[in-house]
Structure 1
Amino acid sequence: MPSLPSLLILTFSPIRSDPRVLKQVELFKGKYRVSTCAYGDAPDGVEEHYPLPSDARGWSSDKLGLITRQYERVYGGMTAVQEARKILPRGQFDIILANDLNTLPLALELQPRLGVHADLHEYAPSEKESDAKWRVFVAPFMRWMCRKYLPLAASVTTVSQGIADEYRNRFGVQVGVVTNAAPFLEAEPTPTAGPLKVIYSGAGQRYRKIELIIDAMKGVDDKVQLDFVVMPNEPDYVDELKRSAVDLPNVRFIDPVPYEELVSLIRNYDVAMCFLPNSTFNLQNALPNKFFEAVQARIGVITGPSPAMVALVESYGLGAVTTDFSVEALRAALNGLTENETAQWKSAANDAAWTLSAESQVALWESAIAEIAAP
C-alpha cells in the first residue's frame, strides 16, 4: 500500500491551547502523516513534533529593518523563524499547512513537494492597528508579506467573510472561509430559571475593552448574574478589571479552565456575552470562538452589531443584538433578558448546533488539502 502523504502543521502559537490549530490536527491525523511545529508539547496523535523554544518570537524586533524596509532581513531576524529553520527539514514534507501570515514565508522556503495551504486567523495588515507605531512601521511589512507570498500559496482560508473579502480586494487572492466553530457536542439545552446566568469568556487583552461590560453591569437588575472567565494575557489589565467589579454583587471572576472543559463549563449558564467593540478592522469582522462555544453549549448569545455575528444570530434566532456598542445599549439588553426568551434561544442553538459545528465547517480545509495532495 502506498504511504499517506506527509503534512506539516506549522504555527507560532502554543499548539495545545490553540483551538483552531487543534481542529486541524484532529481533522487530518489518520488521513495524513501529520507532523507539527509549534510552541509547547506535541498534540495527541501526531507522528512527529518540532518544538519551538518558548522565548522564540514570532514577530519582528528589527526596528532599523522596518524603518528602512529591508523586509527580507526583518523576516529572517524573527527568532521563531531562526529556530524553526534549525529543526525543520527542507523538501521532506508533501504539504505544509501554514497558520497565520508570519509562518507562510517559512512554509514556502521549506519547499514542500506538493504545496502550501495558508490559514489566516485574522486580517494581518490590521492586527494591531490601534497602535500608531505599529501602523507606521509594521503594517507595511505585513502588506509586503501579503503581496509577495499569498499568491504563492496553493490555497488560502480565513475566519470570516469580511476578512476574506478584504484579502481578495487588496491582494487579488481567492480566500475561503472556515469559521472558528467548536466541535459538535451531543447535548440538550438545560432548563432556564432565575436568576439568569451570563458568562463572558476570552482573552484578557486591553483592546477588547472588557471594562465596557463591567460598566454596563452597573445598573443591571440582580435578576442577572455575570461571570467572567478571562485568560491573564495582560495580567495588569485583568487586575484592573477585577478591581473595577469589586463592588458589584452580581459580577464574579472565576478561574479559567482548559479549553477541552470550556463548553462543559458554559453549559452551566443561560447566555454568553459575545460583545466585541468595533475599534479595529478585525474586531469589526470578528466571528469568535466564544460565539460557537455558546452554540454547542446550547445557550443564547448577546452580541453587538458586528456584521458576521448579527447574520448568524438573525438567521438562527440565537439571541439578542444591541443597537450599538455603547454601555447603555448593552445594559438595556441585559436588563431586557427574560426566562422565556432565553429558553427560546437555547432551543434555537440546539437546532443550529450541527450546522454551526466544527465538523460541518472544516470540510473546506479537508478539500483544500486533498486538492493539493491530488497530484
Structure 2
Amino acid sequence: MRPKILCISFSEITADSRVLRQLDLLAEFGDVTTLSYGAQPAAAADHLEVDTKLASLPQTPLGVALLAIRWHSKAELAAPAVQRALALVKGRRFDLIVANEARALPLAHYIAGGTPIWGDMHEWAPEERVQVLSWKLLVAPLMTSICKRYLPKTEAISVVNDSIAELYQEHFSCSTETVRNARPYVELVPEPLTDGPIRLVHSGAAVPGRNLEGMIEAVGLLGPGYTLDFYLIEARDNGRYLRQIQHLAAGNEQIRFLPSVAPHELPEVLNDYDLGIYSLPPQTRNQALMLPNKFFDFVQARLGIVFSPSPETSRLIEEHHVGVVTEDFSAGSLASAIKSLSRDQIWTYKQNTHHAAQALSSESDSEVARGIVRRLLLERSRPASR
C-alpha cells in the first residue's frame, strides 16, 4: 500500500508554484492529500479545501486579544482557517505530513501523533511582513514563538536559499536543507529580438509591497522603444490592488496587463519577450535576500534578466552572465540599467540563459527534497525500539 502523505499549505494552492512542484514530487512516493485554499491540484489524490474567506492568522477579536497579551500557545491554533482545517482532517492518519510555512507547523504537530513532519519554511518566518505595523507588533512575535517551539521537534526543515538557512541556524540553532524555487528544465530556445520595441515582462502576484509601481515608473522614464507586459495573479483582496496598479498605468500605451498564466505554462508564454525585470526595495530581510520563483521562470523562458541588488540573485546573474543588476532600487536605476543594454547585449544574455537553464533548473533541488521524503518515510516504517 502506498504511503499516505498530507500536504498543508495556507495558500491558493493551484497558483502556488513552489507547492505545486512539491506535490509532483510527493506523488512519486505516495497518495497525497492536500489541505489548502483553492481547488484540488492535479497531483493530489484527495483534497480538503479551506474556504478562502477564512484567515490563516488569528485575526478574530479573540485571536487579536491573544496576540496582544502574547498568549501564543493559545493563539497558534486560533486562526479560522486552522480551526476549519482541524475539522476537515479529524480522524485521518498519515505516514508523512508536510507543513508549508511557519503558520502551518502548529497544526501539523497537533495532528501528527508520531508522524514525521517536513517543515518547508520557504522564507524567514519572523519577518514575513514586518513592513506592516500591525504584523510587526502582533504576528511577528507569534511566528518567532512558533519557530522556537516547533522547529526543534520537526524532523526535516527546508528553506528557499542559503542566506535564509543561515538565519534559522543563527536564531533557532536548527539545521535546514535548501530547496530553491527553481523549476524543472524546459526545452525551449531563445526567441530572437524583433525590429520593434524591446519587450520587457514581469510575472508574479499583484500584492502590495512588490514595487509594481516602480516598474511602471521606469517604463515611463525609458520612453519609446520599450514595452512592458504584466502577467499578474490577483491577491486575496478580490483584485483591489491589481485595479490600483492598472489605474496607475492607464494612459501609458507601452504597458499592458495580460491574463494570468498557469505556473506550468509560464516559460513558454514568457519566451516571446526579451528581458524579465524586477526591482524590489528591501523592506524586510526576505526581500533583501530574495531568490524568487520569477528569477527561475525567466531563466527557463530564456530571457535576459534585470534585477535589483540581492546577494542571492546578483550572484547567479553574475556567475552565469545572464543579465545585469541595477545600481540601487529606484525606478531611475532600473530604467538606466535597461537602457544601457544594446540589442546585441540582450541577445547575448538570452543565449547565456539558454546555456545556464539546465544548471539553474530544479534537478538538484528535487534530489534534496526526494532525500527528505525518503528519509522520513523510512523512519516511519522502522519498528519502534524496545
Q: Which category of TM-score, normalised to the shorter sequence, fits these structures?
A: over 0.9
Distance 2:113 2:184 in 1: 29
Aligned to 2:277, the other structure's residue is in SS state strand
From 197, 222, 225, the counterpart of 2:224:
222
Q: Tell me the residue number matched to 2:99.
A: 98
More moved, 154-163 vs 54-63: 54-63
From 5, 17, 27, the counterpart of 1:29:
27
More moved, 35-44 vs 168-177: 35-44
1:216-264 deviation digits (Å, cap 9, x = unpaired): 1223142221112222325343233223323333222222222232222
Aligned to 1:374, the other structure's residue is in SS state helix
Following superposition, the deviation at residue 135 of structure 1 comes to 1.1
Cα 1:245–1:41 change in 2 (3 A) is closer
From 339, 346, 366, the counterpart of 2:343:
339
Aligned to 1:323, the other structure's residue is in SS state coil
Write the letter of the residue equivalent to 1:356: L
Aligned to 1:286, the other structure's residue is in SS state coil
2:3–2:31 contact (8 Å) kept in structure 1: yes
1:45-95 deviation digits (Å, cap 9, x = unpaired): 432222222322211111110111111221221111111111214572111
Aligned to 2:99, the other structure's residue is in SS state strand
1:197-219 deviation digits (Å, cap 9, x = unpaired): 01011111221121111111223
Cα 1:67–1:360 change in 2 (3 A) is same
Write the letter of the residue equivalent to 1:125: P
Q: Tell me the residue number matched to 2:205.
A: 203
Write the letter of the residue equivalent to 1:222: P
Distance 1:284 1:346 in 2: 26
2:306–2:325 contact (8 Å) kept in structure 1: yes
Q: Tell me the residue number matched to 2:305.
A: 301
Aligned to 2:222, the other structure's residue is in SS state coil
TM-score by length of 2: 0.92
2:188–2:268 contact (8 Å) kept in structure 1: no
TM-score by length of 1: 0.95
2:221–2:332 contact (8 Å) kept in structure 1: no
Write the letter of the residue equivalent to 1:277: P
Aligned to 1:20, the other structure's residue is in SS state helix
Aligned to 2:244, the other structure's residue is in SS state helix
Aligned to 2:10, the other structure's residue is in SS state strand
Distance 1:68 1:256 in 2: 41
Write the letter of the residue equivalent to 1:149: Y
1:122–1:158 contact (8 Å) kept in structure 2: yes
Distance 1:49 1:245 in 2: 39
Write the letter of the residue equivalent to 2:100: N
Aligned residues: 373
From 259, 266, 271, the counterpart of 1:267:
271
Distance 1:357 1:218 in 2: 34
Query: Residues 279-318 of structure 1 correspond to what in structure 2 (within 5 A)?
Result: 279-318=283-322
Query: Residues 1-375 of structure 1 correspond to what in structure 2 (within 5 A)?
Result: 3-61=1-59, 62-89=63-90, 92-111=93-112, 113-194=114-195, 195-233=197-235, 234=237, 235-375=239-379
Distance 2:43 2:319 in 1: 37
More moved, 222-231 vs 102-111: 222-231
Cα 1:143–1:297 change in 2 (3 A) is same
Q: Which runs of 5 or more residues in structure 2 are unaligned?
A: 380-386
1:212–1:327 contact (8 Å) kept in structure 2: yes
